[in-house]
Chains A and B, each alone.
Chain A
């Protein structure tokens, strides 16, 4: 197949529709955002995004420096340095590739470089596995990256544009990772609305590094040795940037709604049948698909069940999420990841939710589940089982003292 026949997406004066995958949606967004420097390294499943970018460039539809790095470490370092000179940059990875880049990932937030990275979530193999697990992206959760989990190809496209706008806002200047579940989202196609360039231009201003730009006209020294004299102040500034991101995100989603005519409601989490729900499951990413199917079935049987899908994991909207979750009789948290030896032996999200509820006057029981590791499908019976456990906790009013592994051989 030559590059020309491969491009499915037209950007036109009016909104178009195209059948594309989650990875391709990020690639199309990078073209709409006129990204300047894109660095690639092969690893499944995120690399489908980079393949699509390459096609767009080969076809003359996108104009960017496209650099195939010799390792993920270099891939992220090259993008980081491009960002420092004021170029809009994109990279990404999956699984162990993300880990290979970890040094660059760790230093980018304090440099205040608004780099975007797509994570095609993947198990950290050995043992060999291509499928979704969230431990790759979550390994970087504490470092100052903004982090969002998307659910559909449309959301992948939209959030890429939103993420650039928020990351490049001077009040924020932080890198952002966009997590897409491997295979379930990276490789499955859906109809996606492709906005016209003019809307994107109105929404997304040019990246302006101002007096932090690395250029001969602006002689500054970046990242000197600060040691105990100054490091703490710099950490505090990075922390403030992440706090600022909350408000900047709200602004961006508001503007997005106005210009693109698509409403995500609360940017931080999605609610599904929560209004009158007694119990809910909480999770991230494409888990929402089987959970929503089961909710519709259970509701038909008269059960008041709902779902909360956490979108923005960093910054985490603990205030509103805590307020919402404390209303229910029990909360089941579904982790597609693990945190071995952690409190309750649970996954990462479950302990975030426990911490979120701690500040609430009323604390429903929390049941933590680990499921769907290594890309294993989370089935309808799996979801029913999780709702049953959560229901039981609501009846007894007690949180189990341990985490339940669902859909695992004994």
Chain B
């Protein structure tokens, strides 16, 4: 029944953007939202849809980018936008793409490329919605992009710890106090690499940081044009949750990359590439900055002792010197730094 011609859905043409001056001028995420001053995730939304263009529908799971963006009677979205449940970004992508595919295959709507982007926060995507995202990345018939904007907390519900909150960070569920200096003892999940390693048929997985806007937009374009399900994990400084001056959002994104805490990489058709400053770090052209430079700019780490900073540094050092694939896959020949300071 499914002739190969009927079964393949057309893909969009989105050329790589060659420099910030060549970026499209049109905005599809505009005024009408009420995110915090300095909210990097709002910039992520803006760049994501600028890169994708008008023939796109966006689905967003519960979180800041739902609640702070779309308050009824106003919407920043010029393209169609639909809410989905907290753990449903994977299912929303699959359902939407499957609906279009069925209708196009059966000739019920015009056959044309439609970009389906489904975004989620870190607790929505990397914790609650992980199984649905995993399943979505297996359904290779459906073209869509799942974008996880990671502000390292359940920000919308008042900054609670998640599986993506960094070790030791203060949140409203992990305060610091005389009996417990370090409340949140989990090490941040390595979500993008886990999804890339675990879903070999998924053709594109990338980490991004909006401090590098052109790199960011081009990763979105690659994800949308390659075909099948794809995944992008974005690192999003959050002034409210991380407790810093809003003007530092951009700088903190850069620092996370330059300290090696947030490696930028992409896995395209089984080929792994570190890119940008992370590539320079891996190739020894860029010296990693000390994590202290990053941590101490944020109130959420203000309680850290020298031992805590050393522990954090040692874990990051391991990541670059001991991991079989530096910055990406944590397999190593021997057990590394497994005892946090008392």
Q: Are A87 and B82 closer than 8 Å at their CB atoms?
A: no
Residues of B within 8 A of A69 (CB): 91, 135
How many residues from A make CB contacts under 8 Å with B?
45
Q: Which of A45-93 contact B (CB under 8 A)?
A: 60, 63-65, 67, 69-71, 73-74, 77-87, 89
Which chain B residues border A103 with CB–CB below 8 Å? 85
Q: What's the nearest-Cβ distance from chain A to residue B86, in Å? A: 8
Q: Which of A60, A73, A87, A230 contacts B99 (CB 8 A)?
A: A87
Take A63-B1, A214-B82, A224-B72 as given contacts and tell me if A73 and B103 are in contact as well, using a CB distance cutoff of 8 Å. no
Interface centre among A39, A60, A86, A224 (most CB of B within 10 A): A224
For window 89-130 of A, CB contacts with B under 8 Å fall at: 89, 103-104, 107
In the complex, are the beta carbons of B80 and A74 less than 8 A apart? no
Q: Quick check: is B200 within 8 A (CB to CB) of the other chain?
A: no
Q: Are A222 and B102 in contact (CB under 8 A)?
A: no
CB distance from A15 to the nearest CB of B (A): 25
CB contact list, B55-113 vs A, under 8 A: 55-57, 59, 66-67, 70-73, 75, 77-85, 87-88, 90-92, 94-96, 98-103, 105-106, 108-109
Chain B contacts of A78 at CB under 8 A? 91, 94-95, 98
B83 and A87 form a contact (CB under 8 A): no
Question: A107 — nearest CB in chain B belongs to which residue?
Answer: B85
Chain A residues whose C-beta falls within 8 Å of the C-beta of B54 in the assembled complex: 216
Contacts of B139 in A (CB 8 A): 67
Distance, CA A104 to CA B92, complexed state (A)? 11
Task: Establish whether residues B95 and A79, one from each chain, have CB atoms under 8 Å apart when the complex forms.
Answer: yes
Cβ-defined partner of B131 (8 Å) among A71, A84, A226: A71
Q: Is the CB of B57 within 8 A of A81?
A: no
User: Across the two chains, which residue of chain B brings its CB closest to A220?
Assistant: B80
Would A36 and B83 count as touching, CB distance under 8 A?
no
- In this assembly, does A396 line the interface, its C-beta being within 8 Å of a C-beta of chain B? no
- Whether, in the assembled complex, B114 has its beta carbon less than 8 Å from a beta carbon of chain A, the answer is yes
Which residues from chain B contact A221 at a C-beta distance below 8 Å? 70, 75, 77, 80-82
CB-CB under 8 A from A261, the residues of chain B are none
Asked whether A81 and B72 contact (CB < 8 A) given A69-B91, A216-B55, A216-B79, the answer is no
Complex interface residues of chain B between 108 and 148 (CB less than 8 A to chain A) = 108-109, 114, 131-132, 134-135, 139, 141
Question: Which listed residue, B80, B83, B95, touches A216 by the CB 8 Å rule?
Answer: B80
Contacts of A215 in B (CB 8 A): 57, 80, 109, 114
Residue of A nearest to B75 (CB): A221
Q: Is A342 an interface residue (CB 8 A)?
A: no
Q: A214-B80, A224-B72 are in contact. Are A77 and B57 (CB under 8 A)?
A: no
Contacts of B131 in A (CB 8 A): 70-71, 74
**Cβ-based interface call for A394 (8 A):** no
Given contacts A63-B1, A216-B56, A224-B71, contact A85 B103 (CB under 8 A): yes
A37 touching B72, Cβ below 8 Å? no
Instruction: Tell me the bound Cα distance from A67 to B102 in angstroms.
Output: 12
Q: Which residues of chain A are within 8 angstroms of B106 by Cβ–Cβ distance?
A: 34, 36, 63
Contact partners of A36 in chain B: CB under 8 A: 99, 102-103, 106, 108
List residues of chain A with CB within 8 A of the CB of B56: 216
Interface centre among B59, B67, B82, B87 (most CB of A within 10 A): B82
Do A81 and B132 touch across chains, with their CB atoms under 8 A apart?
A: no
Quick check: B78 and A219 within 8 Å, CB to CB? yes
Whether a CB of chain B sits under 8 angstroms from the CB of A202 is: no
| A74 x B91 contact (CB < 8 A) | yes
Which residues of chain B come closer than 8 Å to A82, judged between CB atoms? Answer: 95-96, 98-99, 102
Report the nearest B residue to A216, measured CB to CB: B55
Interface 0/1 of A296-326, CB less than 8 Å to B: 0000000000000000000000000000000
Task: Identify A81's interface contact among B78, B95, B108, B109, CB under 8 A.
Answer: B95
Contacts of B92 in A (CB 8 A): 77, 81
The answer, among B66, B72, B99, B102, for a CB contact under 8 Å with A84, is B99
Asked if A206 lies at the interface with its beta carbon under 8 angstroms from chain B, I say: yes
Q: Considering the chains assembled together, what is the distance between the CA atoms of A80 and B84 in angstroms?
A: 10
In the complex, which of the residues A63, A77, A87, A219 contacts B84, with contact meaning CB atoms closer than 8 Å? A77
> Closest approach, in angstroms, between the C-beta of A87 and any C-beta of chain B?
4
For residue A2, CB closer than 8 A to chain B, the reply is no
Question: With A and B bound together, what is the CA distance between A104 and B84 in angstroms?
Answer: 9
- List of A residues within 8 angstroms of B79 by Cβ: 216, 219
**Which among B78, B88, B114 has the highest number of chain A CB atoms within 10 Å?**
B88
Report the Cα distance A13→B323, complex, angstroms.
Answer: 66
Bound CA–CA A237/B139 (angstroms): 36
Contact yes or no, B96 A81, CB < 8 A: yes
Most buried by B among A64, A73, A74: A74
Which residue, of A83, A225, A226, has the highest number of chain B Cβ atoms within 10 A?
Answer: A225
A276 surroundings in chain B (CB, below 8 A): none
Question: How far is it, in angstroms, between the C-alpha of A81 and the C-alpha of B84 when the chains are bound?
Answer: 8
Task: List chain B residues, Cβ under 8 A from A226.
Answer: 72
Alpha-carbon distance between A56 and B141 when the two chains are bound, in angstroms: 20
Taking CB atoms, residues of chain A closer than 8 Å to B78 are 219
B141 contacts across to A, CB distance below 8 A: 65
- Chain A residues numbered 217-234 whose CB sits less than 8 Å from any CB in chain B: 218-227, 229-230
In the bound complex, do residue B1 and residue A222 qualify as a contact, i.e. CB atoms below 8 Å apart?
no
Say yes or no: B95 contacts A73, CB within 8 Å: no
Most buried by B among A34, A87, A227: A87
**Cβ–Cβ contact A84 & B135, under 8 A:** no
Asked if A81 and B59 make an inter-chain contact with CB atoms under 8 angstroms apart, the answer reads yes
Contact B81 A37 (CB under 8 A): no
Could you tell me the distance between the alpha carbons of A65 and B83 in the complex, rounded to whole angstroms? 23
CA distance A77 to B89 in the complex (A): 9
Identity of the chain A residue whose Cβ is nearest the Cβ of B77 in the assembled complex: A221
Q: Does the CB pair A85–B99 fall under 8 Å?
A: yes
**Do A74 and B96 touch across chains, with their CB atoms under 8 A apart?**
no
Inside 8 A of A83's CB, which chain B residues have their CB? 95, 99
Q: How far is the CB of B98 from chain A (nearest CB, A)?
A: 4
Contacts of B98 in A (CB 8 A): 37, 65, 67, 78, 82, 87
Residue in B closest to A85 when the chains form the complex, CB atoms: B99
B171 to chain A, nearest CB (A): 23
* B82 interface neighbour in A65, A71, A223, Cβ under 8 Å: A223
Separation of A350 and B310 alpha carbons in the complex (Å): 67
Complex A-B: 21 CB contacts under 8 Å = A63-B1, A63-B106, A65-B101, A74-B88, A74-B94, A74-B131, A81-B96, A82-B96, A82-B98, A84-B95, A84-B96, A84-B99, A86-B108, A87-B102, A104-B85, A214-B57, A216-B79, A219-B78, A219-B79, A221-B80, A227-B71
- Shortest 5 CB-CB distances between A and B: which pairs? A81-B95, A77-B91, A85-B99, A87-B99, A82-B99
Q: A67-B94, A216-B57, A224-B70 are in contact. List 12 more A-B contacts (CB 8 A).
A: A77-B84, A77-B91, A77-B95, A78-B91, A84-B95, A84-B96, A86-B108, A86-B109, A87-B100, A89-B99, A214-B57, A222-B81
